[in-house]
Amino acid sequence: MPAYASTVLNAPADEVWGYLRDFGNLAEWLPGITLCEFEEGDGSRPGTVRRLEGTGGTFRERLLTLDDVSRSASYEILESPLPVRDYRAVYRVAPVTDSGRAFVEWSATFEADDETRMTKTFTRGVFEPGLASLHKHFPD
C-alpha cells in the first residue's frame, strides 16, 4: 500500500514545478526539516545525494529522476532512522486545465515490517504537512 497525498495550489504548474524541482530546498517548506544540504552533486541531475536533519533524525536521499517535461522527480532513501527498506518516492506537478492551478501529488512505495504504520507515518506525518505548507508559498 503506497503512501500518498495530493493538493491543488493556486499557481500555474510551471511555477510550482520551478520551485519543487529544487532538490535542495526541502528545509524551506517541509515542516520538521531544519537542514538540507548536498553531499554529492548539486541537485540539478540524478545521482545527487542530500542529507536532511530535523525532528525525525537524519536522512540521506538520492535523486533518481528529474523530468521537466512531466514535471516529476523521484528519489530513494539511502539512510533513515525509520524502519523502512527499498523506499522510493515520486512527486509530480500537473496543470488543472480548467482553472490554471497546479495539482501536486507525492507518493512512496517501500517495505516495512509494519507497512500500515509506516504508510500512515509518511502520508500524515510527511506528505500531507509538506503539501499543506506549500500553500504558504502559493497562497490561495
Measuring CA to CA, which residue among 73, 29, 28, 24 is closest to residue 51?
A: 24
Structural domain count of the chain: 1
**Is pLDDT at 80 greater than 90 in this prediction?**
yes
**pLDDT band of 19, cuts 50, 70, 90:** very high
Mean pLDDT, the chain, rounded, equals 96
Q: What is the per-residue pLDDT for 56?
A: 87
Q: What is the per-residue pLDDT for 8?
A: 98
Residue range(s) defining the domain that contains residue 14: 3-137
**The domain that contains 97 carries what CATH number?**
3.30.530.20
Mean pLDDT of 91-120: 97
Q: CA 86 to CA 93: how far, in whole Å?
A: 24
Exposure string (b/e) for 61-99, b if CB count within 10 Å is 16 or more? bbbeebeeeebbbbbebeebebebeebebbbbbbbeeee
Mean pLDDT of 27-51: 96
Q: CA 37 to CA 48: how far, in whole Å?
A: 10
Residue whose entry in the numeric block shows the C-alpha cell 523530468: 67
Q: What is the per-residue pLDDT for 26?
A: 96
**pLDDT band of 140, cuts 50, 70, 90:** confident
Cβ neighbours of residue 25 closer than 8 Å, sequence gap 6 or more: 19, 36
Q: What is the per-residue pLDDT for 1?
A: 65
Instruction: Give per-residue pLDDT as tens, 5-17.
Output: 999 999 999 999 9
